[in-house]
Amino acid sequence: MKKLATAIAITAALAAAATYQYLHASTDPHQSALQSKLHAVEKTLSETQNDLLRYTTFTQYLEVTKKAISGRTKFLAARIDRNYVHVEHINRSALGIKSDATIILNYAVEYAVGYDLSPESFSVSGDATGITVTLKKPELVASPAIGAISHEIPGKGLFIDEKEQVIALQQRLITAAEKQGNAISMEEAVIALCERKLGEFLRDFLAKQPNVRAIPTITFAYR
């Protein structure tokens, strides 16, 4: 694309120079009028070429664009909030006496889902038709953040320390949340959210670069 633009510019310049010299060699009034018209056409052509080239100037910034997003995995991650209810039934038996209890645990989890943006893990390519970012599918990029924990004990039993059971349940939440997070990262809606977040950053970054007039379609390809 860059070579083509250069060739167009050189050709236009040579044509303009040749036309200018030819017309100046004649003093015919008709030639003078034609000269004025040709100058106007050349000016319009030059302006149009420059205008069109600005629409593909973004391709000159692909390398710097990759550098701009490299290492920004957590910064560009999508935040997903989910609420859960876990019901635990506990059974105990002592001296031939059976006892059971129920614990209801309510908690919220914030997941950070995004792309691996280490330099070797993705690529940015493009041409006049658009930009393609090739990378791995979204994944958890941080440990799930668990909060807003509350519990209910609708049924208490003998030989059961409910507080101890609640503490044990809370300690198991991280492992459970990570498994849930891995499943969440594969949801189509979450993948679309990650694409939108990274796409918005790319469009905003490219729009701020010199002489970029239009940002084309940005697509994502997965390895």
Complete DSSP assignment for the chain: -HHHHHHHHHHHHHHHHHHHHHHHT---HHHHHHHHHHHHHHHHHHHHHHHHHHTTGGGGGHHHHHHHHTT-TTTTPEEEEEEEEEEEEEEEEETTEEEEEEEEEEEEEEEEEE---SGGG-EEEEETTEEEEEEPPPEE-S--EEEEEEEEEEE--TT--HHHHHHHHHHHHHHHHHHHHHHHTT-HHHHHHHHHHHHHHHHHHHHTSTT-----EEEEEE-
Domain identity same for 179 and 110: yes
pLDDT on residue 33: 64
pTM: 0.68
Give mean pLDDT, residues 94-107: 76
What residues make up the domain containing 212? Answer: 61-222
Domain identity same for 66 and 175: yes
For the four alpha carbons of 117, 125, 66 and 209, in that order, the dihedral sign comes to: negative
pLDDT on residue 139: 96
Domain stops at, among 54, 69, 93: 54
Domain identity same for 9 and 87: no
Q: How many domains does the chain have?
A: 2
Domain identity same for 210 and 122: yes
Domain identity same for 218 and 178: yes
Domain identity same for 124 and 174: yes
pLDDT band at residue 46, thresholds of 50, 70 and 90?
low
Question: What are the distances in angstroms from CA 68 to CA 4, 47, 121?
Answer: 27, 32, 14
pLDDT band at residue 63, thresholds of 50, 70 and 90?
confident
**CA dist., res. 193 & res. 202, Å (int):** 14
Domain identity same for 47 and 71: no
